[in-house]
Structure 1
Amino acid sequence: MTKKPRHKSSGLPSASAAKAAAAIGVPVQPVQLTTAHYQGPIPPPSILEGFDRIVPGAAHRLIQLAEDESKHRRELENKTLEANIAAQRRQLEIGDYQSKAVFRSDLLAQIFGVLVTLTCIVAAIWASLHGQVTVAVILAGIPTAAVIQAFFRQKPDQKK
């Protein structure tokens, strides 16, 4: 099993390696490596000057390109925000419509319930006045059963 070195060599000779190479007559030339890093759409002025020396007007075109890209990005963000606002508005409209539809449906059900109840009671009274006691009891039992069912029916959130 071989041991791996704990650190990697940078490829540059160390001071002792440079002395050893000079002692045996191998020329050693120091090398300096410089790196630059920038972040963002526009490079620093020194790099822009270099672009302009190679291609006249390149710096202006790069700046214009960055400005156009920034403007385009802002336009897309605005369109996205406007679309989100429109979607939320539409959701509110749908919710409002659904609430009104449920209210109308409940109101119609109550009105028809009252009409059926009153009709049954009037028919029961009419049947009892004309000697039809059995029919009168049945007709009076319909609204009574509906009222009793309404009081004892569980609400949807109480079911288990």
Structure 2
Amino acid sequence: MMAQQVTHYEGPIPDPETLNRYEQIVPGTAERIIAMAEKEQSHRHEIESTVVSAQTSDVRDERKAEARGQWFALVFCTMAIAAGTYSIHAGHPGWGVVLCGATLASVVGIFITRRNGKNDSPPNHTAEPTPTEQAESEQQ
């Protein structure tokens, strides 16, 4: 019969017994392993901070672009309705009705599809794990 002992630990730093054995074999190894773990943790925090900052910036840019688009749409609709009204008063009721009607129909259509959720596109942020979550899953 044969006996086998298996030791398992999780994380960048081994259990105290193993760490002590490393230290006995090569003096200073325990300190180097702990320093390496601290450096790795600092690096992970830096990466997470960078990712969060980038995501925040992306959301801010998306909101600005959406607001800009709404202003452009307002200006365009106002100009189209003004042109349609002018066409009606200038003796071209057909063109005026088409301009005003198409503009109003487009705006109403956009509001209806937005309200029903048909035009809601999913955010382009992926559901990827953070660097820390990824590292933790690799350790398991």
Q: TM-score range by the shorter chain?
A: 0.5 to 0.7
Q: Deviations over 1:79-106 (max 9, x none)?
A: 1111111011101000000000000000
Runs of 4+ in 1 over 3 A off after TM superposition: 144-152, 154-158
Matched, 1:37 2:8: yes
> Is the alpha carbon distance of 1:56 and 1:145 closer, same or farther for their aligned partners in structure 2, counting shifts above 3 Å?
closer
Q: Deviations over 1:30-53 (max 9, x none)?
A: x54322111111001111111111
Higher-Rg member (1/2): 1
Residue ranges of structure 1 left out of the alignment (5+ in a row): 1-11, 13-30, 121-141
Deviation for aligned residue 1:115 = 2.2
- The one of 110, 118, 128 equivalent to 2:81 is 110
Per the alignment, residue 26 of structure 2 pairs with 55
Q: How many residues align?
A: 108
> Is the alpha carbon distance of 1:78 and 1:58 closer, same or farther for their aligned partners in structure 2, counting shifts above 3 Å?
same
> Is the alpha carbon distance of 1:99 and 1:118 closer, same or farther for their aligned partners in structure 2, counting shifts above 3 Å?
same
Deviation for aligned residue 1:118 = 2.2
Matched, 1:83 2:54: yes
So what's the TM-score if we normalise by structure 1? 0.58
Matched, 1:147 2:121: no
- What SS class does the counterpart of residue 39 from structure 1 fall into? coil
Matched, 1:100 2:71: yes
CA contact (8 A) 2:13 2:33 kept: yes
Residue ranges of structure 2 left out of the alignment (5+ in a row): 113-140
Identity of aligned residues (%): 26
Aligned mates of 2:77, 2:101 — CA distance in 1 = 17
Over the aligned positions, Cα root-mean-square deviation in angstroms equals 2.8
- What SS class does the counterpart of residue 38 from structure 1 fall into? coil
- The one of 82, 90, 101 equivalent to 1:119 is 90
Q: Kindly indicate whether structure 1 or structure 2 has the higher relative contact order, using CA contacts under 8 Å at least 6 residues apart.
A: 2
